[in-house]
Chain A
Amino acid sequence: MFTSLFTFPVWFWSCLFFAAIAIPILIHLIRLVRFKVVHWPAMEFLILSQKRRRRKVWLSKFLLIMTRILLLLIAVVVFANIQFDRDDSDDNTSGTLHLVILDDSFSMGERSIDFDDDSGVTSTCFDFAKTAVLDLAKNLVQQPNQRVAIVRTCDLTEQSVANHISSCDSQWLANLKTEFGEMSPTDLAISPLRKLLEVESVSFDADHVRLYVVSDFRNKDWRGNETKKVVSRLTDRFDLTRLIHCAEFDRRSKNLCIQMLKPENKVLAANVPFFLKLVIRNGSDVDRTDVPVEIRKTFGINESWQNSRVNSNPAANMSGVDDSVSDLEIRNEPTVLIKKIKANSVVTTKFPILLSEAGTHVIEARLPDDDLLIDNFFQRVVDIPITNQVLLIAENQSRDVNYLSWLFQPKGNGTTLNTGFNVDVQSMQTVASQSANNLERYRAIFLLSDDLVNVKSIALLEQYVKEGGLLFVIPGNSADPKLLTKHLYRGGDGVLPFAIASAIEISERNEGTKTDITFVNPNFKNLFRGESEKLISLIQFQRKFIPPRNWSPGAGEDVIANLRGRATTPLIVSRQLGFGRSIVILSPFDNRWNNWAKNPTFVVLVFQLINFYSEFSTKTDLAVPAQIEEESPIGTIVESRLGFRRQLDGFSESSSKALVPGEKRIIKLSRKGLSVLSGNGATRFIATHIDDNESDLNLLEKGELEELGDSDRIKLVSWNEVSIDDPFRTKASSYPMLLVLLALFFVEQILAYRLGFHSRKGSADA
């Protein structure tokens, strides 16, 4: 029996518990049995005294016994509490499991200048987190029968929490140190809630489980009630919860984040200036002024390189990329200066850029270093397709054909520049000899011919538009309005939105009128503003075709620009026909009609029209962790080292498998930066971005966290205060108990004094 007392602590503490109750009563009874005899002269006085004091004495005795029982009970509880705490840490029989939820989202990369080491390297919150976990691990190794599961919040391997459990020994500690030496925060923005819920769903085979949440406790992750509720539930379930904070609560972080860098419109052609939209977010509560943003083109694939080296030999592909990197000519673009970004706000700006050649371009924006580095650069893949086919329909090599051909494929220094457009020129008759499918490969078709009697050709063009094509109708110098109306309007069924009434002369504009052309479509209204408005003002029209007077745009019809005249009349009109659209420009490229063809705004407008109305898709806008679904497998994925600093190690295991032709394949990218997918004769650049919500470095109020855990079971501690001995619990639980113990001791003493003997000098002096 006595052996079992010490074998089973519950028995032992139960015995102590009952002993605490029984001892005062037994002492009381023994004292009643053992007495001395006194022969006393004045019994009636004693009896009278005893009668008078009987109730008070009984009450005092009762209180005294109860106080002594309580005193012993609390002493047992306090002792048991301390003992059980010790048992928790060095339990030889059942073992303790320590669950460490380690936040490795990229906000943990916040640098703290207050903790520079001797080598000048700035420590990050993640470094503090690693230190805290290592401190914990070192303590655990010294205790017997301890197990640990270190679970990273951004772990994408889908492994169960139970698979992370390891026994604490010196080998494990050595491995952990090695692992931590190479470990850095991920580029992911995954809240600890995900892993906390996972932990909640698992049942652990351990008598004692302790939970440690090592995080920076950002407002965005912890403000919600759900996370707090989960922590609360886990605290109820486990023995102990420690919230280990690695960010400084009283520090005002400075962090700017590039939220977005992308072309304002879809870019279709080289040599066409376009705007890049830049969105910068201030993820801290400090205003920032005069922020320079460095914009540069870090990479561009020229056609010859891509054709000759990437596509020719997949094996040489890797080295080809590497060589290209060294040969890259980095062009420094003008730096964008942002005057002021208020705390916790977003600033949007745009700036013009021009890419001279078609192909894939990588443009990078970079902010000055601040507390969080990862969100300071942003890469954008700007893809200018190199195979945009454009068809010019004309009867012969007219001036218009020559002009448009030069427009799409300009020549400089004796060579043709790669704008990405290939121009075909065909007559109406040739078109008539083709099938409708052949026309589908053209991004846009320009109808310049006046030969409109070829009904089959016109029917094919209408079919092309109805199936989603874009047809420009630009009547020639000698076009007959009646023929145009007859064959292209066809009573409202053709590609023209109205019957062309006639061609009219336009008088010279007076001084009060700035431009002949007025853009009315909101999508193009701001295309020529500022400096480029001067170019528009140079355009002068002498003649143009006009619609009927009573014409107004119907459903699917849209006036893009108007032309000055006695009455303002449409100049560029578009019409929805089926899934496609036709655009009619009511003034030919002839100097007898206008001088617009010589003006650079024309080419810009044409490309923007193609850009806007032509279907075009891109897959370059991806966030970490992005899943890229490839309809057709293109081979292996290689790491791009082009302006990309870290190893691309986030691919899932399946991505490295040999591809089976026809297999649909999903690749997961978990690193920010630029990746190259290449193989099977195709290459694609993919830029992955971070979730900019993680750039919000505002912390949850310390008070809120303390409210989260205000008991001895859950506590907020700093990263440098972590200890397995856990003084917090012992202190927290023992202090009130010890105070109660002390108070009871005083009460006991008072009661005992009241019932006990104490001489009063002179009390009975006569």
Chain B
Amino acid sequence: MKDSKRYFDPETIKRISRLELRSKYIVEGLLSGMHRSPRFGQSVEFRQHREYSVGDELRHVDWKVWARQDRLYVKQFEDETNLNCQLLVDSSASMNYASGLFSKFEYAATLACCLAYLVLRQKDKVGCVSFNPESSRRVLLGNRKTQLNEIANVLDEVAFCTQTAIAEFLMEQARELDRNGLLVVICDVWTLQDGLERAFKMLRQRGHDVILMPMVDPDEVDFPFKGPTRFEGLELDGELQINPEEIRNEYLALFQQRVNSMRRVCLSNGCDFELIQTSQPFNVVLSKLLNRRLGTQRR
């Protein structure tokens, strides 16, 4: 475990400029830290027992149960399907805020690549979209060897623009995506929420599994500013000169309200919600995410 920590030193990660390398570095470190098989996630997941009926294959009979209870039960397994994972990364200007080593977008891009690498390692398909109202770039679903490189290139060459309407984009995705799959939405916490619930419903109706991962900077969580400060908008034109201490409580309340609102919308529509702080180590975020996903599948 000690050795694995070196994989997650933020400065070390930051020094790896190429996204695909960075993601491999992180994921390999993560997996070695877990002491899990590199074949993690491959099929034959036991689901439940069912009483034997005529016609069932005898190889599925659980002989151990028969030996204990003198009854025939058949073991049933999860059906193995191909996973189609679509990574949707918000590239609005507000994602460009950074108080630490990583801006929100850098963090989001790194995280997206890590996830892509994980999916590709399972031989599943992964695609990526960096979305904003002006210029969205896309990497289609695939599991080619160059898939990770393409995704990294898209995320590297992103052009930031003004505020994003995430709901519209998600609804568009719902209409466009012809295969069910996993949608990982990495967006800004401040992104517009109008119609978000409707978009989630539509995605869920179409059989998509959605994980919403809003990104926040520690500054946005703590609002630690002191003294007279002029705030200039990253997305909106305008400025505000205030003593941050004076409105801190009010701001934090609004922020909390925002996060709670997002979480409620997600959960009420069967979507996963994971608030990501850019100060969190990648391995922690990924572990948490993977553990949650496993738990979700078992439900």
Q: How far is the CA of A33 from the CA of B243 in the complex (A)?
A: 12
Find out whether the CB atom of A40 lies under 8 angstroms from the CB atom of B228: no
Choose from A31, A44, A755 the contact partner of B236 (Cβ within 8 Å): A44
Smallest CB gap from B235: residue in A: A41
Choose from A35, A41, A763 the contact partner of B256 (Cβ within 8 Å): A763
With an 8 Å Cβ cutoff, the count of chain B residues facing the other chain is 46
* B247 CB within 8 Å of chain A: yes
* B143 CB within 8 Å of chain A: no
A residues less than 8 Å from B217 (CB atoms): 41
Choose from A32, A41, A43 the contact partner of B220 (Cβ within 8 Å): A41
* B251 CB within 8 Å of chain A: yes
Q: How far is the CA of A42 from the CA of B245 in the complex (A)?
A: 17
* A529 CB within 8 Å of chain B: no
* A766 CB within 8 Å of chain B: yes
Known: A43-B235, A757-B248, A766-B263. A50 touches B242 (CB 8 A): yes
Find out whether the CB atom of B259 lies under 8 angstroms from the CB atom of A43: no
Known: A43-B236, A53-B250, A764-B221. A36 touches B255 (CB 8 A): no
* B194 CB within 8 Å of chain A: no
Residues in B165-203 with C-beta less than 8 Å from chain A: 188, 190
Residues in A676-712 with C-beta less than 8 Å from chain B: none
What number of residue pairs across chains A and B have CB atoms under 8 A from each other?
A: 120
Q: How far is the CA of A42 from the CA of B235 in the complex (A)?
A: 8
* B94 CB within 8 Å of chain A: yes
* A756 CB within 8 Å of chain B: yes
Q: How far is the CA of A765 from the CA of B188 in the complex (A)?
A: 16
A residues less than 8 Å from B226 (CB atoms): 756-757
* B97 CB within 8 Å of chain A: yes
* B296 CB within 8 Å of chain A: no
A residues less than 8 Å from B243 (CB atoms): 31, 57, 755
Find out whether the CB atom of A57 lies under 8 angstroms from the CB atom of B229: no
Find out whether the CB atom of A38 lies under 8 angstroms from the CB atom of B252: no
Find out whether the CB atom of A31 lies under 8 angstroms from the CB atom of B228: yes
Nearest Cβ in chain A — how far from B131, in angstroms?
17
Find out whether the CB atom of A766 lies under 8 angstroms from the CB atom of B259: yes
* A48 CB within 8 Å of chain B: yes
Residues in B61-81 with C-beta less than 8 Å from chain A: none
Smallest CB gap from A43: residue in B: B233
* B227 CB within 8 Å of chain A: yes
Choose from A38, A47, A50, A765 the contact partner of B230 (Cβ within 8 Å): A38
Choose from A38, A53, A766 the contact partner of B275 (Cβ within 8 Å): A766
Find out whether the CB atom of A759 lies under 8 angstroms from the CB atom of B240: no
Nearest Cβ in chain A — how far from B267, in angstroms?
13
* A49 CB within 8 Å of chain B: yes
Residues in B213-266 with C-beta less than 8 Å from chain A: 217, 220-222, 224-236, 238, 240-252, 254-256, 258-259, 263
Nearest Cβ in chain A — how far from B285, in angstroms?
12
Find out whether the CB atom of A40 lies under 8 angstroms from the CB atom of B242: no
Find out whether the CB atom of A755 lies under 8 angstroms from the CB atom of B227: no
Q: How far is the CA of A52 from the CA of B234 in the complex (A)?
A: 22
Find out whether the CB atom of B252 lies under 8 angstroms from the CB atom of A53: no
Choose from B230, B245, B255, B259 the contact partner of A755 (Cβ within 8 Å): B245
Smallest CB gap from B94: residue in A: A41
Nearest Cβ in chain B — how far from A652, in angstroms?
83
Q: How far is the CA of A603 from the CA of B200 in the complex (A)?
A: 145
Residues in A737-766 with C-beta less than 8 Å from chain B: 755-757, 759-760, 763-766
Smallest CB gap from B218: residue in A: A764
Q: How far is the CA of A34 from the CA of B247 in the complex (A)?
A: 19
A residues less than 8 Å from B95 (CB atoms): 41
Nearest Cβ in chain B — how far from A185, in angstroms?
72
Residues in A3-42 with C-beta less than 8 Å from chain B: 31-42
Find out whether the CB atom of B250 lies under 8 angstroms from the CB atom of A40: no
Known: A39-B232, A42-B190. A47 touches B241 (CB 8 A): no
Choose from A38, A57, A755, A763 the contact partner of B225 (Cβ within 8 Å): A38
Find out whether the CB atom of B224 lies under 8 angstroms from the CB atom of A52: no
Find out whether the CB atom of A36 lies under 8 angstroms from the CB atom of B250: no
Q: How far is the CA of A757 from the CA of B219 in the complex (A)?
A: 13
* A45 CB within 8 Å of chain B: yes
Smallest CB gap from A58: residue in B: B246
Find out whether the CB atom of B251 lies under 8 angstroms from the CB atom of A46: yes
Q: How far is the CA of A47 from the CA of B250 in the complex (A)?
A: 11
Choose from B190, B221, B227, B246 the contact partner of A41 (Cβ within 8 Å): B190
Nearest Cβ in chain A — how far from B102, in angstroms?
14
Q: How far is the CA of A387 from the CA of B130 in the complex (A)?
A: 148
B residues less than 8 Å from A34 (CB atoms): 228
Q: How far is the CA of A757 from the CA of B222 in the complex (A)?
A: 10
Find out whether the CB atom of A764 lies under 8 angstroms from the CB atom of B252: yes
Find out whether the CB atom of B231 lies under 8 angstroms from the CB atom of A31: no
Smallest CB gap from A34: residue in B: B228
A residues less than 8 Å from B254 (CB atoms): 45, 48-49
Smallest CB gap from A42: residue in B: B190
Find out whether the CB atom of A35 lies under 8 angstroms from the CB atom of B246: no
Find out whether the CB atom of B227 lies under 8 angstroms from the CB atom of A31: yes
Nearest Cβ in chain A — how far from B77, in angstroms?
36
Residue from A33, A41, A60 having most chain B Cβ neighbours under 10 A: A41
Find out whether the CB atom of A52 lies under 8 angstroms from the CB atom of B235: no
Residue from B190, B224, B231 having most chain A Cβ neighbours under 10 A: B231
Find out whether the CB atom of B256 lies under 8 angstroms from the CB atom of A40: no
Known: A766-B263, A766-B275. A40 touches B234 (CB 8 A): yes
Residue from B96, B241, B248, B249 having most chain A Cβ neighbours under 10 A: B248
Find out whether the CB atom of A45 lies under 8 angstroms from the CB atom of B255: yes
Residues in A139-166 with C-beta less than 8 Å from chain B: none
Find out whether the CB atom of B256 lies under 8 angstroms from the CB atom of A42: no
Nearest Cβ in chain B — how far from A766, in angstroms?
4
Q: How far is the CA of A126 from the CA of B188 in the complex (A)?
A: 92
Find out whether the CB atom of A40 lies under 8 angstroms from the CB atom of B222: no
B residues less than 8 Å from A757 (CB atoms): 224-226, 244-245, 248
Known: A37-B230, A766-B275. A43 touches B238 (CB 8 A): yes
Nearest Cβ in chain B — how far from A44, in angstroms?
7
Nearest Cβ in chain A — how far from B229, in angstroms?
5
Nearest Cβ in chain A — how far from B57, in angstroms?
47
A residues less than 8 Å from B252 (CB atoms): 760, 763-764
A residues less than 8 Å from B230 (CB atoms): 35-38
Nearest Cβ in chain A — how far from B96, in angstroms?
8
Find out whether the CB atom of A49 lies under 8 angstroms from the CB atom of B250: yes
Find out whether the CB atom of B241 lies under 8 angstroms from the CB atom of A35: yes
Find out whether the CB atom of B228 lies under 8 angstroms from the CB atom of A45: no
Find out whether the CB atom of A46 lies under 8 angstroms from the CB atom of B246: no
Q: Mark B81-112, 1 if CB is under 8 A from A, else 0.
A: 00000000000011111000000100000000
Choose from A45, A47, A57, A765 the contact partner of B246 (Cβ within 8 Å): A57
Q: How far is the CA of A107 from the CA of B192 in the complex (A)?
A: 97
Known: A52-B250, A757-B225. A46 touches B231 (CB 8 A): yes
A residues less than 8 Å from B233 (CB atoms): 39-41, 43
Smallest CB gap from B231: residue in A: A40
Residues in A500-546 with C-beta less than 8 Å from chain B: none
Find out whether the CB atom of A42 lies under 8 angstroms from the CB atom of B240: no
A residues less than 8 Å from B246 (CB atoms): 50, 53, 57, 60-61, 755
A residues less than 8 Å from B244 (CB atoms): 757
Q: Mark A294-313, 1 if CB is under 8 A from B, else 0.
A: 00000000000000000000
Q: How far is the CA of A625 from the CA of B298 in the complex (A)?
A: 120
17 A-B contact pairs sorted by A residue (CB < 8 Å): A31-B243, A35-B230, A35-B241, A36-B228, A38-B230, A38-B231, A39-B233, A41-B96, A41-B188, A42-B190, A44-B236, A46-B251, A48-B254, A57-B247, A757-B224, A760-B252, A766-B259
Give B contacts to A, CB under 8 Å: 93-97, 104, 188, 190, 217, 220-222, 224-236, 238, 240-252, 254-256, 258-259, 263, 275
Give A contacts to B, CB under 8 Å: 31-50, 52-53, 57, 60-61, 755-757, 759-760, 763-766
Q: A41-B104, A43-B231 are in contact. List 8 more A-B contacts (CB 8 A).
A: A37-B232, A39-B232, A40-B232, A40-B233, A42-B220, A43-B240, A53-B247, A764-B259
Identify the 9 closest CB pairs spanning chains A and B, nearest first: A41-B94, A766-B275, A43-B233, A35-B228, A49-B250, A764-B221, A42-B190, A49-B247, A40-B231
